[in-house]
Homo-oligomer: A and B are copies of this chain.
Amino acid sequence: MASESTVFRASTTAPVNIAVIKYWGKRDASLNLPTNSSLSVTLSQRSLRTLTTASCSAVYPAADSLTLNGKPQDIQSSKRTLACLSNLRSLRQAVEAADLTLPKLSTLPLRIVSENNFPTAAGLASSAAGFAALVRAVADLYQLPQSPRELSRIARQGSGSACRSLMGGYVAWRSGELEDGSDSLAEEVAPASHWPEMRALILVVSAEKKDVPSTEGMQTTVATSSLFATRAASVVPERMDAIETAIRDRDFPAFAEITMRDSNSFHATCLDSWPPIFYMNDVSRAAVRLVHDINRAVGRTVCAYTFDAGPNAVIYYLDEVSELVAGTFKAILGGTTGGWEGPFGQRLEKVTAPGVSLDQLDSRAVTVLKDGVARVILTSVGEGPVSVTEHLVSEKGEIIIN
């Protein structure tokens, strides 16, 4: 039985997702409603995850609080966080109204503590995992009946792409049409188990100051690019259909070509913005070149690049061609680049020679990549958020610093 000093807790981990059809452009900035649908691959939490504990208690000070990676956040100045918490509280109030025996958690202050197992600065879409974990953890704390799809509407208001991190596998975010955003939701296109062989090699490019934050960047693109409307209105809808078919059919060459073309299209609209926005640099270009060279040398499409709002390359490939793809990048990047040892590194332990002979690759691109990649993250498609018993808030309500 709960007493006045009870600390209610729920903890979850949530994954990062990397879009293959890009979200870029809001049709409503405050609701985070996108100009076009998008689709992503959820990455394994064995490599990258956010762990979040949501707790509430009558013993806490009156204001909700949020601690990220050990640092208290100014929650009141984050409209996005406030919107998520307000939505979740409303849903809890409905639950409490339907069953008066339940504790009135909606009336208690929240203490939320969150930690990433990867550096925020690496440019790895940490806000997506962060808001997905926050929404999932509070929903669990509140024992909300809503499905991940329904919760995605809330997470979306925290960070657009966060809605896609509430599910595993291959996830579409339908742009929706309604003004209130109630139909702008994420849904699973296929679970990770449908196509579990998908691998992702992330090339973390040496830190350079990010050009333009993505919220600002996408607003600039929508307002100024004369090519963007064509992308949103016709290019992306066709690609959404095509890539869902490719995923259903486990057709990697089709999946790969659409992924690469959509990344290029997104960056093209950035370049066409005013003033122009550049996220890719010469190291990114070298990765593009090498992916095309590897595919050409192998004689079929075995790998695909995609770039978010930063220079890091994410390279998708299937486990069966690990030696050809990841093995070649390992041979290029050599022993000085860390990250090959992770949970998916086993496959490459015995690799001693590149899968594709380096003399079939552009030598300049090889040099530029070798000099420009700081570390790699070798990972895989994975599951959605998972409830865990590891808490970042003690039974007494104290924040646990790992």
Identify which of A123-131, A260-268, A330-338 touches chain B. Answer: A260-268
Give the chain B neighbours of A278 by CB distance below 8 A. Answer: 285, 288
Complex-state Cα separation, A319 to B208, whole angstroms: 35
CA distance A318 to B138 in the complex (A): 61
Partner of A269, one of B268, B274, B275, B282: B268
A5 at the interface (CB under 8 A from B): no
> A265 contacts which of B264, B265, B272, B281 (Cβ < 8 Å)?
B272
Which residues of A from 170 to 226 have beta carbons under 8 Å from B? 208-209, 226
**A235, A261, A268: residue with the most chain B Cβ atoms closer than 10 Å:** A268
**A208, A269, A271, most chain B CB atoms within 10 A:** A271
Residues of B within 8 A of A235 (CB): 226-227
Per-residue B-contact encoding for A270-287, CB less than 8 Å = 1, 0 else: 011111101001100100
User: How many whole Å from A297's CB to the nearest CB in chain B?
Assistant: 14
Asked whether any CB of chain B lies closer than 8 Å to the CB of A231, the reply is yes
Which of B264, B271, B275, B364 contacts A209, CB < 8 Å? B364
Q: Does A250 contact B (CB under 8 A)?
A: no
Find out whether the CB atom of B264 lies under 8 angstroms from the CB atom of A272: yes
A contact face: mostly helix, strand, loop, or mixed? helix
Oligomer copy total? 2
Contact B272 A281 (CB under 8 A): no
Expressed in whole angstroms, the minimum distance between the Cβ of A290 and any Cβ of chain B is 12
0 or 1 for each of A142-183: is its CB under 8 Å from B? (1 = yes): 000000000000000000000000000000000000000000
Q: A117: CB under 8 A from chain B?
A: no
Q: Please name the residue on chain B nearest to A257 by beta carbon.
A: B274
Residue among A209, A272, A285, A292 with the most chain B CB within 10 A? A272
CA distance A268 to B178 in the complex (A): 31
Complexed CA–CA distance, A282 and B271 (Å): 13
Query: CB of A357 within 8 A of chain B?
Result: no
Residues of B within 8 A of A364 (CB): 208-209
Name the one of B208, B227, B281 contacting A268, with C-beta atoms under 8 angstroms. B227
Q: When each residue 297-319 of chain A gets 1 if its CB lies under 8 Å from chain B and 0 otherwise, what string results? A: 00000000000000000000000
Task: Determine the chain B residues whose CB is within 8 A of the CB of A292 once the complex forms.
Answer: 275
Interfacial residues of chain A within 319-375, with CB under 8 A of chain B in the complex: 364
A6 at the interface (CB under 8 A from B): no
What is the CB-to-nearest-CB distance from A370 to chain B, in angstroms, rounded to a whole number? 16
Q: Can you give 6 A-B contacts (C-beta < 8 A)?
A: A226-B231, A226-B261, A227-B230, A260-B274, A264-B276, A265-B272
Nearest 4 Cβ contacts at the A-B interface: A268-B268, A268-B272, A230-B230, A227-B227
Q: Which residues of A line the B interface, CB within 8 A?
A: 208-209, 226-227, 229-231, 234-235, 257, 260-261, 264-265, 267-269, 271-276, 278, 281-282, 285, 288, 292, 364
Told that A227-B235, A275-B292 touch, could you supply 16 new A-B pairs with CB distance under 8 A?
A226-B230, A226-B235, A227-B227, A227-B230, A227-B265, A227-B268, A227-B269, A257-B274, A261-B272, A264-B274, A265-B272, A268-B268, A268-B269, A271-B271, A276-B288, A278-B288
